[in-house]
Amino acid sequence: MSTDDKMRVLVYSDDAATREKVRQAVGRRPAADVPLVEIVECATHAKVVQHFDSGEIDVAVLDAEAQPAGGMGVARQAKDEVYDCPPICLLIARRDDRWLAEWSRADAVVPQPIDPVTLADAIAGLMRRRLSDRLTAH
């Protein structure tokens, strides 16, 4: 995959404002050395599962505060059930939730309120990891 290709980043939150903040932070390309991003927004757990099952998601950003299915449980389920699960970034509202983020097996954790630079760096890192995993798998 070259940096001219696109990677699909799933953004899950029941809050449209949170999804928009993630979209703005990630932008079209979160770092110069990663491909362009296509954002796939989801507001329901069922849609997240559908997108994970499609195998077309490269990185996921899950809101731990989403209702009724929080991002931590969704992340844990994906890590347990999705073949070749994409790297997951978890958005947490409380610092005390870090231990739960560990339990969920998230690959990155970003606190809310969202700092655009921190989130873009985390997503770029997960994109690099996904690209690297694909290269070593072939």
Please check whether residue 89 lies inside any domain of the structure: yes
Q: Is residue 1 part of a domain?
A: no
Range of the domain at 93: 6-137
pLDDT score of 1 more than 50: no
End-to-end alpha carbon distance in the chain: 12
CATH number of the domain where residue 127 is located: 3.40.50.2300
Asked whether 128 and 134 are in contact (CB, 8 A), the reply is no
- Report the number of distinct structural domains present in the chain: 1
Reply yes or no on whether the pLDDT at 68 is more than 80.
yes
At 12-50, the pLDDT tens digits run 999 999 999 999 999 999 999 999 999 999 999 999 999
Dihedral of the alpha carbons of 70, 76, 81, 85, in degrees to the nearest 10: 100
Residue 58 belongs to some domain of the structure: yes
* Residue 38 belongs to some domain of the structure: yes
**Domain presence at residue 76:** yes
pTM for this one?
0.94
Cβ–Cβ < 8 Å for 57, 10: yes
pLDDT in tens, 127-136: 999 999 888 8
27 belongs to a structural domain: yes
Domain assignment present for residue 121? The answer is yes
Q: What is the mean pLDDT of residues 76-90?
A: 96
| Residue 114 placed within a domain | yes
Question: Is the Cβ–Cβ distance between 76 and 88 less than 8 Å?
Answer: no
